[in-house]
Amino acid sequence: MTTLALYNTLTRTKEAFAPIDANNVRMYVCGPTVYDFAHIGNARPVIVFDLLFRLLRHTYGVDHVTYVRNITDVDDKINARALRDFPDLPLNEAIRRVTEKTEKQFLSDASALGSLEPTIQPRATDNIEQMQTLISDLIAKKHAYNASGEVLFDVKSMPEYGQLSGRNLDDNLAGARIAVEAHKKNPADFVLWKQSSASEPGWDSPWGRGRPGWHIECSAMSERYLGQTFDIHGGGLDLIFPHHENEIAQSRCAHGTHAMANVWMHNGFLQVEGQKMSKSLGNFVTINELLETGAMGGRAWIGDVLRLAMLMTHYREPIDFSVSRLEEAESKLRDWQRAARGAELAEGDDPDASVVKELTDDLNFHRASVALDFIAKKANRDEGNAKHCLASTLRFLGFGLDSLLTSEDGWEAPPHIAAAIADRLAALNSKDFAKADTIRNALAEQGIALMDYKDEAGERQTKWEMKR
RNA sequence: GGCCUCGUGGCGGAGUGGUGACGCAGCGGAUUGCAAAUCCGCGUACUCCGGUUCAAUUCCGGACGAGGCCUCCA
């Protein structure tokens, strides 16, 4: 079996991946908080861990990988958004409107980016009971305490707290930027359960009507669907501290385990045109805007291009998301699709082994793409089964095979184009080059590029392509 | 202030203790009525300063620079 090497944030080294159970490889990735449309930065973990999911499925078998990505639908930002957008509705109804709409959009965005659906996509609000059980366990084991109506995790009760992020509590204190809240035993103690006022969403609990803290949901949902210790936990770099650190503290202390997940993976951040993405700079762009509006470069970009633009850089490195990057990705993808054109795929066709091998080295997509270029070159020379191999590999990587090349109705030219092409061929055959060029230019105006070639019988033929 | 990443040619981006990956763009050639596509070929780099070494872009130290976290932001 192929060996997979993955960089583990916990050890800061690349390690050979050994699943706990090769018959059920388990991965958890922190999903979106559904209060607003996902921005391009949110797209990165979606794409990166989808690639890992695909690789795991290929390595261990499609039915031997469980990928859980949660939907966080309880959060104070959601409450705020609900009040802002639906001030006339009862709060619960307003919240439901916000989360349903946002979740739907997220799933549609993820799909447009070529991502497979995770095996399970649990919602926080469907797991409140599990969270409460976990909190009760933590209290019983003296890892949590009740103060001023909040249940707090006692970080001092866990000697190894800070292992993932490489910080110790004293360092944090030195920073002294943590607001000191009198009811906490230690400034780093974090909330497991907080009380809700009548105007806030809440659930009844042994500690009063309230709502869960930020971190507990992931501990609860990962345990429910993947067990107390599982293989891989992923998310953005920013989640290392405090989110993942706190997840580990909760899960390990509640279960008395040595690990929550064996491998912790984190994708890097991205900038937009060399600058940090922020609403104030005006370069904050959502996935949906990229797909459907001219938010970047004055035009829309298809999901396949966004996916490739994202994967062009190794997942742990920072990315400068720019128009020129998108253009390069588009051009590269077009090359591949052109080279793979006409291949007919069957259900079980495997991706190229050399491409897969590159990916097994901590998802080195860029090297995989070099291997892909090599195959594309062979496909253009019509060598062996290169064309077919390229197509199946592109499919494996989550790319469409013709998204840049065809019009909506496939390679069959619409009647007016077919007619124009026929007219032009007739003109060419009577050496009327001026007329031929007029037709070519007219079609070019419509974004259609013509390419002449000779068929096997030596007859002149014309192919066409949509230029976006 | 503490902690964590990173710094390769016009751009993207791997990798390595010792003959300058690869892609895009650019240039030349083949091909073409002209093109496009395709094929063949070409150029330019390892932030700076020390150290280790026969030899460093690659290891170590420092400087400078960029980004992130430490107030629920992927």
Distance CA A188 to C1' B2 in A: 14
The complex's ipTM? Answer: 0.91
Cβ atoms A326, A285 nearer than 8 A: no
Distance A19 CA to B7 C1' (A): 35
Same domain, A338 and A377: yes
Tens digits of residue pLDDT in A167-181: 776 655 443 444 456
- Check whether residue A17 and residue A27 sit in a common domain: yes
Structure tokens at A242: 């405090």
Q: At A443, is the pLDDT very low, low, confident or very high (cuts 50, 70, 90)?
A: confident
**Residue A253, marked binder:** no
CA of A14 to C1' of B46 (A): 24
Q: Are residues A275 and A257 in the same domain?
A: no
Question: Does A293 share its domain with A169?
Answer: no
Specify whether A244 is located in the same domain as A369: no
Instruction: Compute the mean pLDDT over every residue in chain A, rounded to the nearest whole number.
Output: 89
CA→C1' distance for A257 and B52 (Å): 44
Is A97 within 8 Å of A89 (Cβ atoms)? yes
**pLDDT value at position A468?**
54
A266 is in an annotated binding site: no
Instruction: Confirm or deny that A183 is annotated as ligand binding.
Output: no
Residue A104, amino acid: K
Q: How many CB atoms lie within 10 A of CB A221?
A: 26
A243 marked as binding residue:
yes
Nearest nucleotide, C1' to the C-alpha of A271? B67
CATH at residue A142? 3.40.50.620
pLDDT band at A408 (very low <50, low <70, confident <90, very high): very low
A406 and A417, same domain (yes or no) = no
Q: How far apart are CA A120 and CA A432, in angstroms?
A: 62
Q: Are residues A219 and A295 in the same domain?
A: no
A249 and A287 inside one domain: no
Same domain, A158 and A298: no
How many domains does chain A divide into?
Answer: 3
pLDDT score at A454 = 80
Q: What's residue A411's pLDDT?
A: 53
Task: Enumerate the nucleotides of strand B whose atoms come under 7 Å of any protein CB.
Answer: 1-6, 11-15, 21-25, 32-40, 67-74
Mean pLDDT of A232-261: 94
pLDDT digit string, tens, across residues A72-119: 999 888 988 998 899 999 888 999 999 999 999 999 999 999 999 999
- A75 and A130 assigned to the same domain: yes
The domain of A422 spans 413-468
Domain boundary among A233, A267, A301: A267
Cα A46 from Cα A392, distance rounded (Å): 22
- pLDDT confidence of residue A174: 42
**A367 nearest nucleotide via C1' and CA:** B14
Q: Does A247 carry a binding-site annotation?
A: yes
Least confident of A264-278, A291-305, A309-323: A264-278
> Tell me: the pLDDT tens digits for A188-219?
899 999 999 888 889 999 999 999 998 999 99
Q: How far is the CA of A247 from the C1' of B5 (A)?
A: 22
pLDDT at A457: 76
Is residue A248 domain-shared with residue A288, that is, in the same domain?
A: no
To the nearest whole percent, how much of chain A has pLDDT over 70?
Answer: 94
Q: Is A301 exposed, middle or buried, given 0-12, 13-18 or 19+ CB atoms closer than 10 A?
A: buried
